[in-house]
Amino acid sequence: DGGITQSPKYLFRKEGQNVTLSCEQNLNHDAMYWYRQDPGQGLRLIYYSQIVNDFQKGDIAEGYSVSREKKESFPLTVTSAQKNPTAFYLCASIEGNNSPLHFGNGTRLTVT
């Protein structure tokens, strides 16, 4: 079955360390997204990519970086510059405009 795989499910890091969250999809979707969700809040867009080798900043891109070297993969790096990195991170993809977003199961990052 096609889907989006995020790994790991839980991630623990010390403050000051960069960490990369994996997102892989086999849905053949062009567009992919990274969202951040804090407890009791909605989704906020970090970065999105509509096509390979191209990506745009979302509302809260500061302290994050991405790459899109392959259609299937859209990894997110949380850098030490991100002031409050502890959150639930969700990767998603979409087939086309007004199509449903397909989400991975998320990565819960805790930085201490």
User: In the set 14, 15, 16, 42, which binds another protein (CB under 8 A)?
Assistant: 42
Using rule CB under 8 A, residue 52 touches another protein: no
Name the minimum Å distance from CB 14 to another protein.
24
User: Which residue, 26 or 41, is less far from another protein as judged by CB?
Assistant: 41
Using rule CB under 8 A, residue 16 touches another protein: no
Q: Which residue has the tokens 């409050």?
A: 84
Stretch that binds another protein, among 11-19, 60-68, 79-87, 99-107 (CB under 8 A): 99-107
- Find out whether 13 and 74 touch, Cβ atoms under 8 Å: no
Q: Kind of pairing, strands 87-94 and 76-78?
A: unpaired
User: Which residue, 45 or 77, is less far from another protein as judged by CB?
Assistant: 45
Spatial CA neighbour of 3 closest among 112, 111, 110, 103: 103
Stretch that binds another protein, among 19-27, 60-68, 79-87, 97-105 (CB under 8 A): 97-105
Contacts of 35 (CB under 8 A, 6+ apart): 43, 44, 45, 46, 89, 90, 91, 92
